[in-house]
Amino acid sequence: MHQDAVSHLEKDPAMARVIALVGPCRFEVRAEGTHFDHIVRAIVYQQLSGKAAGTIHGRVMALYGGRSPTPAELLATDDTTLRGAGLSWAKIKYVKDLSAHALDGRLPVDRLHELDDDAVMEALVQVKGIGRWSAHMFLMFRLGRPNIVPELDLGVRKAVQRAYKLRKLPTPVKVQEIGRRWEPYGSIATWYLWRSLEHAAPSRRPSPSRRGQKASPKKSSARQKGARSGPRRNRT
């Protein structure tokens, strides 16, 4: 399904290593529900673990009989009721601002798929609580746009640092610069970079000057003690 993208990305040696490490591409678009449902869910999930966010999202839907609310229903719901479901006060403001934008037409929520990437970004970031990162997630995982690189994402920046063996964490501008090599498949490259973080970083080889040297009794004892205490966590 993504073979053309993978073949293109493999021309970049760094990405070829990442692809070999991760394996087949399993990038998927979330097609269930409406665009509005998807954005509400994204707001609920901001800065929370998947489990905690899923619980809160389920409680919010329970307020409406187990389904996703319409913009009018969400806007009419008392703030304290939403707070009781687990939404923070800030997120209550965000979902209500989203609802107001959807109802008065400032956000053409039902037509977002008809707009180009820049127009979608411009439309979404005018809503409170939706920034550039959230808009990128919508473009990638809802609309399935193929060439999105969320340069502000910390995971992407860390993965780029590892894949391209950079001394420092790259800036968003540097990520954009590197990302031009992946066009027009930035979304697939991003997916691979995220997945690469799930794999342990390769261990460092001993320096040539120390190869073949015997460890001193003191160092050997320390190593044996460390081996008995269990494996050390890999740094990422």
Tell me 181's DSSP state.
G
Please provide the average confidence, as pLDDT, over all residues in the chain: 87
Which residues, 6 or more positions from 18, have their beta carbon under 8 angstroms from its beta carbon?
159, 163, 192, 193, 196
List pLDDT tens digits, range 59-103.
Answer: 999 999 999 999 999 999 999 999 999 999 999 999 999 999 999
List pLDDT tens digits, range 141-198.
Answer: 999 999 999 999 999 999 999 999 999 999 999 999 999 999 999 999 999 999 999 9
> Is 40 inside a domain boundary?
yes
Q: In this structure, are 60 and 129 located in the same domain?
A: yes
Cα distance between residue 159 and residue 193, in whole Å: 5
Q: Please tell me whether residue 26 adopts helix, strand or coil conformation.
A: coil
> Is 17 inside a domain boundary?
yes
- In this prediction, residue 200 carries a pLDDT of 63
- In this prediction, residue 1 carries a pLDDT of 65
Look at the alpha carbons of 108, 45, 33, 183 in this order and tell me if their dihedral is positive or negative. Answer: positive
Q: Are 74 and 99 in contact (CB under 8 A)?
A: yes
Global model pTM greater than 0.85: no
Q: Please tell me whether residue 128 adopts helix, strand or coil conformation.
A: coil
Could you tell me the CATH number of the domain that includes residue 56? 1.10.340.30
Q: In whole angstroms, how far apart are CA 9 and each of 26, 81, 165?
A: 15, 48, 17
Number of domains in the chain: 2
Question: Which residues constitute the domain of residue 172?
Answer: 3-28+148-196
> Is 206 inside a domain boundary?
no
